[in-house]
Amino acid sequence: MQYLENLDNFNNLVHVIKEQKRHCDYDTVIELADLYRMMITGKDDEDIYHRFYKKFAESEDPSEVALYEQLQRITNLILKPVTNRIAQPFNKVPRSNAKTEILQYVGDTQNTKLKELQSILDKFWGVKSFDDWMNSRFLELSKIDPNSWCVIEFAGTDGSEVLQPYPFEVKSKNAIYFEFINNILQYLVVIDEEDENGVEFNAYTLYGKNSVIKLSKVNKTRIQGLREVTKNEKNVDTGKYEDVVHSFIESDEIITYRDFTDTDGNAFVMFDKDTFYMFDEFLPHNLGFVNAFRIGYLRDDYTDGRTFVNFFDCAIPYLLSTVKVTCEKDLSFALHVFGKRYEYDQPCRAEGCNGGHLAEGGECTSCHGTGSLTMSSTMEVVKIPLPRSGNGEEIWDLSKMSYTDRPSTDIIDLQLRYIDSLVESAIAVIFNSDVFVKPNIKDTATSKILDYENVYDVLYPFAVNFANQWEFGVKTIAKITDKEKDLIATLSFGKDFRFESKVELVEMYKTMKEAGMSQDILGTIESKIIQLDNFDNKDQFIKWSVKKLFDPFYGKTPEEIMLLMAGTEVPKRSKVLYANYGAIWDNLEAKQEGIYSMTKTKIKEYLALEVDEFMKLLEADKPKTNPFSVNMPTNAVKLDEEGNPIE
């Protein structure tokens, strides 16, 4: 077996399987993941109802069981919409204007290497790219299971195709064991408890620094031609030749195993009698580090920072407090807060009606078997005959014949205000600000700026983690595919995320321009607007940025440009460049592939050559003589001021 070349990984994996080991915080992260999933998806909320209505949930009384079922049927918890509202600012981080991304190779002027790497990154997530995975799944996992892992796997090829890495998302419940030394991951053990068809299946995979191994539990009866791989050696004590049993020592305990194979050459390991595991060792990646990273970034104080919590964990007390009051509010609305109508029962006066039934059988068509006068629409009228005169009957006050009881809604108003206050408190405690709750018209500009700064302080650690994992992912993918040499891959975020919309930026540009601000400030705002317009087209934004850099009149008004073009203060080369700017860049794109990713010096050199070409063309098209001059014949008669010929 090849695993003997890397015995440490094999021994670690065997120990995890034999002892059913789990890392010390396993139960904690599973509990958190279940809680986060319930709050975010709104599903599997039985435990929450049980927490607040334990008496009814555990009752065997049919009436109380029915009430508990009614409670779950009528009420709608608000945890899902609130948690998704909280997540919105974090979802904006990847498309923030504060992001600076550099992905290039040293000396790759034609972007040949970069294009090869980009083609691999573009297929990282099936038909979607590595950036797509980071902008969606990384964000989702950050909030729903921060202790989950992303393993960057790859499938082996025959050498005719480039390796294609892909993500393998490992839930916290499947990441059963791992080891860090000085915050560096040594190995990760993942368990798969079901196969692709949902059949129970125990497979343990260990991701090491240079290789990956796997042990999958199999039924002995399904192994064809099972035979043990043995080596007879002489026992010095007995003098007899015996089969060798491999063993290793771990935690002062000797764990033994035997090697087996089948007719197809598959390798198996037996730990106990009739307990077999198929052994697989995958193509070594020789990275020198484990090709996996954990998603979370906020360390959990409860586990002394060994695990992570998500970004709304600190607000969970407020969020869970909404459960009971929301249930009580929904029950009050459904069962109590509605008008209750009371009225005197007026017997049906239809001919032959006797309590709603007719003498010949059947129901009365007037009262439909109720025996009472009722109305089902405003088109109907219940007519009551006037009392006969002289018999002492009083005329009824029709306004008192019906009464609607309208219950007080004070308790409902209190519940609604309490729910709002809990939601606002939850959001405020997360962002250290109330900028995302009800607007306050009394807020000054300074207080708003401070509010946003508090929000950015909360978002910045998340952005740093996003950038770190992006860099790790890109560099790992490049190393797996042997494209890491001379690669520069960095991602960073400024502390001011500037979440302004395009409308806000345009209004800001207008205000700044009217106030006479410098072109540097206006250019920064304009750059943000263009970047926002081309968020999904980075190449277009890069083209605009490069062209702006070499525009001789950038930042000038049309009137200023007109005066400069007509004057003598500007060199002719600058005028030619400006007048033919679009055509010159079109020619450069056709002649120099990758012009926009070249160094500033190189672009300036090619641009100067193209301007020279245009100046030559203009000079060649220039007429030999002045078209406005008149060639006078030699024998022309000269005239004086009055038009008379001069002798």
- Over residues 360-389, the mean pLDDT reads 75
Q: Report which of residues 57 and 619 the model is more confident about.
A: 57
Highest mean pLDDT among 13-17, 333-337, 483-487, 587-591: 483-487
Cα–Cα distance between 466 and 297 in angstroms, integer?
9
Q: Report which of residues 98 and 471 the model is more confident about.
A: 471
Over residues 136-164, the pLDDT tens digits come to 999 999 999 999 999 999 976 555 577 89
- Over residues 487-495, the mean pLDDT reads 92
pLDDT band at 626 (very low <50, low <70, confident <90, very high): low
Residue 212 has a pLDDT of 93
Tokens of residue 447, six digits: 């207080």
Cα–Cα distance between 588 and 608 in angstroms, integer?
11
Does this model's pTM top 0.85? My answer is no
Nearest to 217, CA basis, from 232, 200, 234, 235:
200
Q: What are phi and psi of 77, to 5 degrees?
A: -70, 155
138: DSSP letter = I
The lowest-confidence range among 16-20, 38-42, 243-247, 319-323 is 243-247
Nearest to 205, CA basis, from 294, 285, 278:
278
- What's the mean per-residue pLDDT of the chain? 83
Is residue 438 packed enough to be buried (19+ CB in 10 Å), middle (13-18) or exposed (0-12)?
exposed
Tokens of residue 84, six digits: 């998704």
Nearest to 192, CA basis, from 164, 166, 167, 169:
169
Give residue 263's identity as a one-letter amino acid code.
Answer: T
Residue 5 has a pLDDT of 44
Residue 355 has a pLDDT of 85
Give residue 459's identity as a one-letter amino acid code.
Answer: L
Cα–Cα distance between 520 and 516 in angstroms, integer?
11
- Over residues 68-76, the mean pLDDT reads 91
* Angle subtended by helix axes 112-121 and 445-480, to nearest 10: 100
Cα–Cα distance between 474 and 124 in angstroms, integer?
10
State how beta strands 275-281 and 267-272 pair. antiparallel
The three-point CA angle 190-196-197 to 5° equals 135
Decide if 63 contacts 319 (C-beta within 8 A). Answer: no
Handedness of CA 463, 465, 470, 475 (dihedral sign): positive
Residue 458 has pLDDT above 70, yes or no: yes
Q: Collapse the DSSP code of 208 into the 3-class scheme (helix H, G, I; strand E, B; otherwise coil) and give the result.
A: coil
Cα–Cα distance between 145 and 580 in angstroms, integer?
56
Residue 37 has pLDDT above 90, yes or no: yes
The lowest-confidence range among 66-70, 330-334, 537-541, 634-638 is 634-638
pLDDT band at 200 (very low <50, low <70, confident <90, very high): low
Nearest to 298, CA basis, from 284, 310, 283:
310
- Over residues 203-225, the mean pLDDT reads 89
Instruction: Let me know how long the chain is.
Output: 647
- Over residues 486-492, the mean pLDDT reads 95
Is residue 353 packed enough to be buried (19+ CB in 10 Å), middle (13-18) or exposed (0-12)?
buried
Is residue 79 packed enough to be buried (19+ CB in 10 Å), middle (13-18) or exposed (0-12)?
buried
Which helix H or strand E contains 91, and what residues bound it? helix 79-91
Which helix H or strand E contains 201, and what residues bound it? strand 200-207
The rounded Cα 372 to chain-centroid distance in angstroms is: 62
pLDDT band at 378 (very low <50, low <70, confident <90, very high): low
pLDDT band at 438 (very low <50, low <70, confident <90, very high): low
Residue 442 has pLDDT above 60, yes or no: no
Highest mean pLDDT among 176-180, 439-443, 493-497: 176-180
Residue 182 has pLDDT above 70, yes or no: yes
The lowest-confidence range among 37-41, 224-228, 261-265, 397-401 is 397-401
- Over residues 259-265, the mean pLDDT reads 81
pLDDT band at 4 (very low <50, low <70, confident <90, very high): very low
Residue 244 has pLDDT above 70, yes or no: no
Over residues 75-116, the pLDDT tens digits come to 999 999 999 999 999 999 998 878 889 999 998 888 899 999
Rg (C-alpha) for the chain, rounded Å, is 40
Over residues 387-433, the pLDDT tens digits come to 766 555 667 677 777 777 777 788 889 999 999 999 999 999 999 87
CA distances in angstroms from 302 to 32, 147, 294, 305, 642, listed in the order given: 12, 14, 18, 7, 111
Give residue 538's identity as a one-letter amino acid code.
Answer: K
The lowest-confidence range among 383-387, 417-421, 487-491, 571-575 is 383-387
CA distances in angstroms from 152 to 155, 472, 475, listed in the order given: 11, 10, 11
